[in-house]
């Protein structure tokens, strides 16, 4: 029984990171119908920038904030320079553009930072906490709390604030939103900044556990993408549940089935979901314009 608890705790920790990445995918997808394959790079930037500003002498919280703000800026640039000029392009083009962006960001990180692995100290130490016969790192609690805080914050933002509702309106129907006076360009910029900031936060929270280097982005993007698909692309609730569920499935696969194929679990689940429930767990039924 304590085994199962350990597997679950491990799954939830990793899953929380996937959830943050999936949330980032969701926001951008909702705003612009684009799946941003560079999402994983935001996580990498969050971690790397924090590492280097911390090493340069800034206190850790400040370094983290600097990282999040800078990464949000990168997100805005990505939108302005790569996504907006390609509005209306076919899906294949957009996929290539965002993958190209992810490669580009990785290349810049490689040159500006370095190719080594890095870490900074955990926020509240490394002493494991015992929970029902299993242990969890304090940093894992930070990661989980972070994911929940982001989700709650986004929920409040989208339902209680005017700006948030403007974002939802734009996602629903761009033309109609413009007609009622919403500045859709501003909404797009905001969405990208938000999504990048969330990714960066994920990176900041998780680096003390998993370390960071310039090329961690692509693996994270794939998993986060799988999580978003699992929950239903475009649904924030789905992103959170999809992420945590994916993490747990992976941990249970490693624990009970085969640690060899743990990574395969994510993709097998995705394919299964796509066939059984193509719109994900929280299906938003979709119609096709003929």
Contacts of another protein in 99-158 (CB under 8 A): 99-108, 110-111, 115-117, 119, 126, 128, 134-135, 137
Q: Which is nearer to another protein, 169 or 252 (CB)?
A: 252
Which of 6, 39, 50, 71 lies at the binding interface for another protein (CB under 8 A)? 6
Q: Which is nearer to another protein, 87 or 185 (CB)?
A: 87
Interacting positions 186-225 with another protein (CB under 8 A): 206, 209-211, 213, 215-216, 218-219, 222, 225
Closest CB to another protein among residues 182, 202: 202
Q: Please compute, for residue 238, the number of CA atoms within 13 A of its CA located in the half-sphere on the CB side.
A: 23
Q: In 10 A of CB 262, how many CB atoms?
A: 16
Q: What is the number of other CB atoms lying within 10 angstroms of the CB of residue 227? A: 32
**At closest approach, how far in Å is the CB of 64 from another protein?**
19
Told to check if 229 binds another protein by CB under 8 A, we report: yes
Q: In the range 235-254, which residues lie near another protein by CB under 8 A?
A: 251-252, 254
| Whether 173 contacts 182, CB under 8 Å | no
Residue (164 or 255) nearer to another protein, CB: 255
Alpha-carbon gap, residue 263 to 153, rounded angstroms: 31
d(CA 227, CA 242): 5
Name which position in 61, 93, 149, 176 contacts another protein (CB under 8 A). 93
Q: Closest Cα partner for 196 from 62, 36, 89?
A: 36
Residue 251 neighbours by CB under 8 Å, 6+ apart? 7, 8, 10, 11, 14
| C-alpha to C-alpha distances, 8 to 2, 4, 269, nearest whole angstrom | 10, 6, 18
Q: Check binding of 19 to another protein (CB under 8 A).
A: no
1 binds another protein (CB under 8 A): no
Residue 80 sits in the site that holds another protein (CB under 8 A):
no
We find the least distance from the C-beta atom of residue 53 to another protein, in angstroms, to be 18
Nearer to another protein (CB atom), residue 78 or residue 166? 78
Per CB under 8 A, which region of 50-58, 150-158, 188-196, 274-282 contacts another protein?
274-282
Site for another protein in 47-76 (CB under 8 A): none
As to burial, measured by CB atoms within 10 angstroms (0-12 exposed, 13-18 middle, 19+ buried), residue 97 is buried
Q: Per the structure block, which two tokens stand in for 190?
A: 């905001």
Q: How far is the C-alpha of 10 from the C-alpha of 45, rounded, in Å?
A: 24
10, 71, 79, 235: which one binds another protein (CB under 8 A): 10
Residue 13 structure tokens? 């920790």
């Amino acid at each position: 029984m304590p085994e199962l608890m350990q597997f679950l705790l491990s799954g939830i920790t990793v899953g929380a990171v996937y959830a943050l990445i999936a949330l980032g995918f969701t926001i951008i997808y909702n705003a612009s119908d684009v799946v941003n394959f560079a999402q994983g790079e935001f996580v990498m930037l969050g971690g790397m920038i924090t590492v280097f500003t911390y090493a340069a002498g800034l206190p850790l919280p400040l370094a983290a904030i600097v990282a999040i703000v800078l990464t949000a800026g990168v997100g805005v640039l990505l939108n302005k320079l790569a996504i907006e000029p390609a509005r209306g392009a076919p899906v294949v083009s957009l996929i290539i553009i965002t993958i190209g962006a992810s490669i580009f960001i990785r290349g810049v990180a490689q040159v500006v930072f370095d190719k080594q692995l890095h870490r900074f100290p955990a926020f509240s130490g490394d002493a494991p906490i015992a929970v029902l016969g299993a242990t969890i790192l304090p940093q894992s609690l930070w990661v989980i709390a972070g994911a929940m805080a982001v989700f709650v914050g986004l929920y409040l933002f989208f339902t209680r604030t005017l700006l948030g509702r403007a974002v939802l309106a734009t996602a629903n129907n761009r033309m109609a939103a413009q007609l009622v006076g919403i500045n859709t360009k501003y909404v797009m910029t905001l969405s990208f900044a938000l999504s990048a900031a969330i990714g960066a936060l994920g990176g900041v929270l998780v680096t003390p556990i998993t370390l960071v280097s310039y090329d961690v982005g692509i693996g994270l993007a794939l998993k986060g993408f799988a999580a978003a698909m699992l929950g239903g692309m475009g649904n924030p609730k789905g992103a959170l549940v999809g992420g945590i569920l994916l993490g747990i499935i992976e941990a249970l696969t490693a624990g009970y089935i085969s640690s060899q194929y743990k990574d395969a679990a994510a993709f097998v689940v995705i394919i299964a979901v796509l066939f059984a429930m193509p719109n994900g767990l929280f299906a938003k039924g979709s119609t096709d314009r003929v």
